[in-house]
Amino acid sequence: MTRAFEDAAKFSDFWAPRELVAYEPVGIPLFTLTLEVIVQRKKPIPPIDEFALRAVDAGLDTFDRVAGFLGLESRITEEAIVNQRQDGHVLSQPDEAGVRRLALTSRGTAALDELAEYVPERTEITAVFDRMTRSVVGNDDRGLARPAAFEHRTLRARSPVAAPTVRDISADDVSAALARSEGLAGARRRSEAEFQLVGIKKVVRADRRYRPASLLVFREPKKGELVAGVIVDGRPSKVHTQAMSELGGLSYLEIDAASIAARRGYREALRQLQGVADPALRPGPDDTADLKAFLAARQRLRDPWPCPALTDI
């Protein structure tokens, strides 16, 4: 039992009241990318709190002066200073005139010294780039097929079809993908450290790959029009179904009612040639010649349906 058959059986009524009339295993076009990126270990102190500490260290000793230097509302600055007071990094004491003055504690000075060690570093990571949605979808390349090893047809890639450049890749997409994986494990200095992506320097390598998927074809009950649904990793994929529709749909794959009917006739011809065991029931020479001619003609055409229709199983 193939994955495509299982997907067809499982989701035969997913697009009801449309009727499932055929299915086919297909490939989602991808690139596996090797990216040179800049990463930095996440700092234990939030950015605004860090800037407030540095302002106090530079001699700005009141809330208003720190807020004016940072260009922030007094409320935001006060919240940052209060956080650092609670962490033992800042002292706030009134002077002779009753004005509260800010100063770093020894612990606060040590915290700033530690932050100075958080420097960006270069590393290489793997990312999977979906050519239908033009986005990074993860970094797990297990289960992907090389072009030479993929036996089925593939869905259409969105233009441009060339390998993506740095301008085509969203740092936010890469960061989100890395958050779901261990793509920065090689860049970690110690096992408990966490890293954040600062920037992408360049695409070092891009290899074409295909993710196995299933294409389901349904017929509208009233108009009889054919519509498609894409199943990826055992789940209906709205983004790939939409992308396929935008990129030519079934017409791009040359799939229509006539091609499905022709495929069924093709299978029936095969049964007549190969499935008759009783010599008395075998087709005669003329019948066999006609069937062979039919099969030869079908071979010369692009066969749009290499899998049987579900309704024939």
The domain boundary residue, chosen from 227, 252, 277: 252
Q: Which of 21-25, 187-191, 240-244 has the lowest mean pLDDT?
A: 187-191
Same domain for 141 and 261, yes or no, is no
Q: What is the mean pLDDT of residues 302-307?
A: 40
Lowest mean per-residue pLDDT among 103-107, 189-193, 202-206 = 189-193
Beta bridge partners of 32: 128, 207
Answer yes or no: is pLDDT of 189 > 70.
no
Q: What angle do CA 25, 27, 33 make, to 5 degrees?
A: 160
Query: What local confidence, expressed as pLDDT, does residue 187 receive?
Result: 41
230 in the same domain as 154:
yes
State which of 80, 97, 115 marks the end of a domain: 115
Question: pTM for the full model?
Answer: 0.64
Alpha carbons 59 and 62: distance in angstroms, whole number: 9
* Domain extent at residue 89: 46-115
Q: Which two tokens stand for residue 94?
A: 């009134």
Structure tokens at 313: 């199983």
- pLDDT at res. 15: 85
257 versus 68: the higher-pLDDT residue is 68
98 and 147 housed in the same domain:
no
Choose among 95, 93, 55: nearest CA to 72: 55
| Residue among 175, 176, 158 nearest 252 (CA) | 158
Other Cβ atoms within 10 Å of 149 Cβ, number: 8
Q: CATH code at 88?
A: 1.10.10.10
190/297 same-domain check: no
pLDDT score at 122: 87
Report the C-alpha gap between 305 and 219 in whole angstroms: 16
Q: Specify the number of domains making up the chain.
A: 3
Q: Is the pLDDT of residue 313 over 50?
A: no
Strands 121-130 and 19-41: antiparallel
- Highest mean pLDDT: which of 189-203, 213-227, 255-269, 282-296? 213-227
What confidence score (pLDDT) does residue 213 get?
95
Amino acid at site 268: E
Residue 306, classed as helix, strand or coil, is: coil
Statement: residue 289 has pLDDT above 70 = no
Mean pLDDT of 193-216: 87
Q: Note whether 138 and 95 are same-domain residues.
A: no
Lowest-confidence range among 19-28, 148-157, 256-265?
A: 256-265
Listed residue (30, 27, 196, 57) closest to 118, CA to CA:
196
The tens digit of pLDDT for each residue in 136-146 reads 988 888 899 99
> Phi and psi dihedrals of 193, rounded to 5?
-75, 145
pLDDT of residue 215: 93
170 and 295 belong to one structural domain: no
Same domain, 131 and 208: yes
Q: What pLDDT is stored for residue 183 in this prediction?
A: 44
DSSP string, 212-236: EEEEEEEE-TTT--EEEEEEETTEE
Per mean pLDDT, which of 95-109, 193-207, 214-228, 234-248 is the most reliable? 234-248
10 and 154 in a common domain: yes
Same domain, 245 and 264: no
pLDDT at position 193: 42
Q: Which of 115, 134, 160 is the last residue of a domain?
A: 115
Q: Which parts of the chain fold into alpha helices (H)?
A: 3-10, 47-57, 63-70, 74-86, 106-115, 171-179, 238-246, 249-252, 257-274, 285-300
pLDDT tens track for 269-284: 555 555 544 444 444 5
pLDDT tier, 29 (very low <50, low <70, confident <90, very high otherwise): very high
User: Is pLDDT above 80 for 265?
Assistant: no
Question: CB within 8 A of 99, min separation 6: which ones?
Answer: 62
Tell me, what's the pLDDT at 230? 95
pLDDT in the model for residue 287 = 47
Report the DSSP beta bridge partners of residue 28: 211
Residues 186, 133 share a domain: yes
User: Stretch 66-78: mean pLDDT, rounded?
Assistant: 85
Residue 267, pLDDT score: 56
Q: Are residues 230 and 275 in the same domain?
A: no
Q: 274 and 148 in one domain?
A: no
Question: Tell me: the pLDDT tens digits for 131-188?
Answer: 999 989 888 888 999 999 998 989 999 988 889 999 888 777 788 776 665 544 444 4
Measured at the CA of 207, the angle between CA 202 and CA 209, to 5 degrees, comes to 135
Q: Which residue, 243, 307, 245, 215, is CA-closest to 1?
A: 307
What angle (nearest 5°) sits at the alpha carbon of residue 220, between those of residues 217 and 224? Answer: 100
